[in-house]
Structure 1
Amino acid sequence: MTSQETAPPRKARGGGTISSRLTGVDAARGAALLGMMSTHLLPTFGPSPSWEPTFVGLVFSGRSAALFAVLAGIGLALSTGKQEPRHGSDLAAARGGVAMRALVIAVVGLTLGGLDVNVAIILVHYAVLFLCILPFLGLRLRALCFWALGWVLASPVLAYLIRPLLLDTTPPLQLGHNPNAEDLGTPGRLLADLFFTGYYPVFQWISYLLIGLVIGRLALTRTTVQVLLLTGGIIAAAVTKAAGFLAMEAWGGRAALETLPGIRGYPLESMLQVNLTGLEQTGSWWWLATASPHAGTTLDLLHSSGTAAAVVGFFLLLGKAAERIKVNFLIVLSGPGAMTLSLYSAHVWVVSGFTNQPLPAGWTEEGMYWTQALCAVVIGVCFTLLRRRGPLEWVAHAASRLGSYRPAAVG
């Protein structure tokens, strides 16, 4: 959730610098931040008894978080050699820097996990994903493609087989809350939740970072690559979502799942469109045929990765247009996108102050969201214009430099 890309800057009217790579990727990250905030503050389901999905639930649920993860892989690719991965001591230094950055993110995540907040905080999972992806940082594009495809196909099946074993223990190896420092005392339960039984199962989510590495190893400054990401992402997202819809509605998947015990709360039809949070997804192989947000299935991973690729391609094209006319109109998104760790953490802290409390007189959920979104944009733009890192980005950068330090050879 921190910007790691580097690219030669160019001065622009409208403030900041322009690079079709840096600005486009950071703008996509800013869009992901605002989308994720919307799912935290705005309803994703309509009122009872219908519980119809809302616009926010249909558009942003699951996709914003997946975009963050794909962008993490892109950032790692750009910071470890772009099209040609580093090797030898340079690769070892890069891995050390990533590991230290992950440590900072984990500490922030565990600290936020101690807050009373009705938000599924992603930071600890994000940090573990950084550590899990270290062995892949030295791979070239072809090898990464094979690994990404294999992981997308195999990890959901393995997770489906492993998850019931973890949930059937006494007590179940599932936290039921955001990871916090106290959970370090039960490492088995914590790791099981992070990798398999939690809200962002790392085991399947490694797919997003691998796909991000694949995208980041492409020649992202080329217009043909940007158009390919946009069109290919749209096609992949549409095909996989259509396949999931057919499996559930035309071939009997939803009818079979509705007969299972434990299908309570929101109507399954609505949950399949918004997310499957709260459902254990055990007892039927039909679970693997859904393309629902947060399902962690092959279709879900491909659909959300497709939407992420399309978003990245779109903003890279906009970044190229901004570079051509020398007006950085993307700064409203690339500004907050360059300091998402600080802004996301501040957002969670602010939300915790209103958890289980009535909103101030005259405030609405929509007003709360737009106020926080506007603050995020203004703060991000100001830091960009001042050429400053966000406070937590500064800490993460310092940790990364420390981790990547290698003393010069003597003699």
Structure 2
Amino acid sequence: MDTSSGAATAGGSGRPDGVPHRDGGAGPQRGTRLTGVDAARGLALTGMMAVHILPARDPVSYDPSLAWTLFSGRSAALFALLAGVGLAFSTGGRRRHRGRTTTADGVGLVVRAALIAVLGLLLNTLLPDEAPAYNILVYYGMFFLLALPFLHLPAAALGLLAAAAAVAGPVLVQLLRDDLPEPVSANPDLADVLAEPGAVLAQLLLTGAYPALPYLAYLLAGLAIGRLDLSSRRVQGRLIGAGLAVTLSAWLTYRLLLVEGGGYARLLEATPWMSEEQLDAVVLWGPNPDLPTTSWWWLLVPGPHSNTPVSVLEDLGTGMVALGVLLLVTRRAGAWLLPLVAMGSMTLTLYSAHLAGLSAMVHGSAPVLWFLVHLELAALVAVLWRRSLGQGPLERVVGGAVRAARRAVLPEK
């Protein structure tokens, strides 16, 4: 989510406050706001709203609905991927920060993580026990803290670490889940943190809806992507190609090993209480609530929010494709995507407002209507706010606190 003034600028400025400057030597858009990144954030926000409000099943066929098929799991992954891109931009972009500036980057990121996590905890107090949505903001704070050691690595190293995290994170979840406490609630709040800090920490890292260790793959991949010249058509095209390759490779792995290679039979043998229909449901709908730990073959299941290497890589690949396509499209048709771009420039504010709206629990009676209400209000507010006031209100607060923290470490000259 875009929480700082420099979070969606191309190339990076090297300035401690993240404000971009013009530099024509690195591409036609260097130092300017990349609207394709904002459009991708807007798409992720739209997808989250759709999954939270629209029915998961088609009312006629009872198959997964179009909204579920397109967005479940993928929207959250795209948000995390773009968080990494934003972190790369705010830490120098292609010109990675050096020296004391790296310390200022780390301090600023800790402040950002704390503020977003606290905001998430406060919002969770509004949500009922039968939560209409899983709030990602508290997890976001953990994502940012885990990113600290990797902030200033080069793109190649970040890409390799992202691939490693896509495997190691799910393996750790599978290995440790049975020995960890159960999640304290669907959406932990401040009271949960004070009462059961260990359980909340385990939830944020491994057992929750958006476990930070598997999601580190998205964040590191985003950091790597943000180190590239995203204003370049060649880079944009390669991003699409690489995303397609990652998605196809993950799908083929699932198909060849689980479907054609006997993995289904092994899963049914290791999990005798589960029928073939129930296993198919996990592939379509994801775990409910968690994958069994009876066999390592479960790590090949591709269902939404399964957080297996296959599902992580599939969602990472589709996120890369979405970002690459929107970067290309907004070069020529950015004006047509203004509502999406405006929403993407203030996702922290709009996502928080969306959760507050869901807490009223009035959307169940007419989900399509309420989805359109949430989406159209978000687009209208975003366009008007962007044109009249610029940065979103919560983005302004968080960005101001981050800049103040950075100035305490690295005073402006």
- What is the TM-score with the length of structure 1 in the denominator? 0.88
Change (3 A) 1:262 1:38: farther
Equivalents in 2 of 1:248, 1:177: separation in Å?
Answer: 30
Alignment of 1:309 with 2:320, yes or no, is yes
Change (3 A) 1:91 1:227: same
Equivalents in 2 of 1:304, 1:26: separation in Å?
Answer: 19
Change (3 A) 1:358 1:193: closer
The aligned residue for residue 14 of structure 1 is none
Deviation, 1:193, is 0.9
Aligned-partner SS, 1:43: coil
Deviations 1:336-365 (A, max 9, x none): 10111111111111111016x863xxxx21
Deviation, 1:95, is 1.5
Contact 1:263 1:279 in 2 (8 A): no
Aligned-partner SS, 1:347: helix
Deviations 1:267-309 (A, max 9, x none): 4313312322413431111111122221111111111111111
Contact 1:21 1:220 in 2 (8 A): no
The aligned residue for residue 176 of structure 2 is 162
Equivalents in 2 of 1:408, 1:214: separation in Å?
Answer: 25
The aligned residue for residue 391 of structure 1 is 393
Q: How does 1:80-95 map to 2 (within 5 A)?
A: 80-95=91-106
Change (3 A) 1:380 1:409: closer
Alignment of 1:183 with 2:184, yes or no, is no
Moved more, 399-408 or 57-66: 399-408
Contact 2:104 2:410 in 1 (8 A): no
Alignment of 1:245 with 2:275, yes or no, is no
Alignment of 1:197 with 2:223, yes or no, is no
Change (3 A) 1:21 1:310: farther
Alignment of 1:33 with 2:45, yes or no, is yes
Equivalents in 1 of 2:272, 2:197: separation in Å?
Answer: 30
Contact 1:152 1:207 in 2 (8 A): yes
Deviation, 1:158, is 2.3
Deviation, 1:162, is 1.1
For structure 2, the 5+ residue unaligned runs are 11-19, 23-28
Moved more, 254-263 or 335-344: 254-263
Write the letter of the residue equivalent to 1:183: D
Moved more, 201-210 or 267-276: 267-276
Moved more, 50-59 or 252-261: 252-261
Alignment of 1:209 with 2:219, yes or no, is yes
Equivalents in 2 of 1:99, 1:40: separation in Å?
Answer: 29
Deviations 1:359-402 (A, max 9, x none): 3xxxx211111111111111111112114222211111111112
Aligned-partner SS, 1:330: helix
The aligned residue for residue 231 of structure 2 is 221
Equivalents in 2 of 1:24, 1:216: separation in Å?
Answer: 13
Alignment of 1:22 with 2:34, yes or no, is yes
Q: How does 1:329-408 map to 2 (within 5 A)?
A: 329-354=336-361, 359=365, 364-406=366-408
The aligned residue for residue 17 of structure 2 is none
For structure 1, the 5+ residue unaligned runs are 11-16, 167-171
User: Which of 148, 162, 170 does residue 148 from structure 1 map onto?
Assistant: 162
Write the letter of the residue equivalent to 2:135: I
Equivalents in 2 of 1:136, 1:21: separation in Å?
Answer: 24
- Identity of matched residues, %: 38
The aligned residue for residue 309 of structure 2 is 298
Equivalents in 1 of 2:252, 2:171: separation in Å?
Answer: 20
Deviation, 1:118, is 1.8
Contact 1:21 1:221 in 2 (8 A): no
The aligned residue for residue 15 of structure 2 is none
Equivalents in 2 of 1:397, 1:313: separation in Å?
Answer: 26
Deviations 1:70-123 (A, max 9, x none): 000000001111112112111111111121111111111001111213211110
**Structure 1 vs Structure 2 CA RMSD:** 2.6
Deviation, 1:328, is 2.3
Deviations 1:167-225 (A, max 9, x none): xxxxx332242111111121111101111111111111111100001111111111000
Deviations 1:238-281 (A, max 9, x none): 231232234333233334434526759x9431331232241343
Equivalents in 2 of 1:296, 1:203: separation in Å?
Answer: 10
Equivalents in 2 of 1:252, 1:354: separation in Å?
Answer: 44
Moved more, 22-31 or 50-59: 50-59
Moved more, 294-303 or 309-318: 294-303
Aligned-partner SS, 2:342: helix
Alignment of 1:126 with 2:140, yes or no, is yes
Deviation, 1:230, is 1.2
Contact 2:104 2:409 in 1 (8 A): no
Contact 1:129 1:205 in 2 (8 A): yes
Change (3 A) 1:145 1:180: same
Number of matched pairs: 389
Write the letter of the residue equivalent to 1:337: G
Equivalents in 1 of 2:228, 2:395: separation in Å?
Answer: 26
Alignment of 1:71 with 2:77, yes or no, is no
Contact 2:166 2:313 in 1 (8 A): yes
Equivalents in 2 of 1:408, 1:295: separation in Å?
Answer: 42
The aligned residue for residue 42 of structure 1 is 54
Contact 1:73 1:211 in 2 (8 A): yes
